Amino acid sequence: MIIKQVKEYSNRQRIDINKSDGLSPGSEVVILSKSDYDSLNKNNRELTHKVTALSSEVEIYKDQERNLTEIVENVTAPIYENHKKELVKKDNQIKQLELQLKVMESKINQYNLELMGLNKLDIAIFGKHKKLIKNFSEDISIIGSDLEFISTEKNSIPGGNDNKNK
């Protein structure tokens, strides 16, 4: 930056520029008054200050966003784990009930076949139908109460450790 003083010679104004000022021939030069220069300089400092303040504000918002994200993850992680456990538990219950249903269907089909295989003589004289009914009732009560279910399959839970689909 070069600061020069305007001089007046016989009704003309001049600014003396020398080679020592470091301007090369053909260079374009902007001439401002000192007050305009000071005003521009002041505006530049204010804008720089505002940019700095806004940059720090943006950093504060980014830190808050990171903190909130961590808080949300910390709060939702136990809920998600509990949800996964409940899903596994319900999955096992469904498998157990499906197995009970299949066993029940098998017993009912067996009972129907045995009952249809009886003739009038077996029913009237030997009373085989009573024994079939008694055995069927006992089988049904055992299926409902004593059947244990052991799963050998992996569970497919979204976000779980295994990626195997059923």
Find the angle CA(155)-CA(161)-CA(165) to the nearest 5 degrees.
45
> Does the residue 21 lie in any domain?
no
Residue pLDDT, tens place only, 46-96: 999 999 999 999 999 999 999 999 999 998 989 999 999 999 999 999 999
Q: Indicate if the pLDDT at residue 158 is higher than 70.
A: no
Beta pairing partners, 13 = 8
- The region, left, alpha or beta by phi > 0 then psi within -120 to 50, assigned to residue 137 is alpha
Q: What is the mean pLDDT of residues 35-46?
A: 94
Q: What is the mean pLDDT of residues 15-38?
A: 87
Per-residue pLDDT band for 159 (boundaries 50, 70, 90) equals: low
The range of the structural domain enclosing residue 64 comes to: 32-146
- What is the pLDDT, as a whole number, of residue 10? 85
Per-residue pLDDT band for 151 (boundaries 50, 70, 90) equals: very low
Strands of 4-137, DSSP E: 7-9, 12-14
> Does the residue 119 lie in any domain?
yes
Q: What is the mean pLDDT of residues 108-120?
A: 83
> Does the residue 90 lie in any domain?
yes
> Does the residue 50 lie in any domain?
yes
> What is this structure's pTM?
0.45
> Does the residue 42 lie in any domain?
yes
CA atoms within 13 A on the CB side of 59: 6
- What is the pLDDT, as a whole number, of residue 157? 53
62-78 core/surface letters (b: 16 or more CB in 10 A; e: else): eeeeeeeeeeeeeeeee
Instruction: Kindly state the percentage of the chain with pLDDT values over 70.
Output: 86
> Does the residue 53 lie in any domain?
yes
At position 36, the amino acid (one-letter code) is D
> Does the residue 6 lie in any domain?
no
HEC sequence for 10-27: CCEEECCCCHHHCCCCCC
Count structural domains, the chain.
1
Q: Indicate if the pLDDT at residue 7 is higher than 90.
A: no
Higher pLDDT, 163 or 9: 9
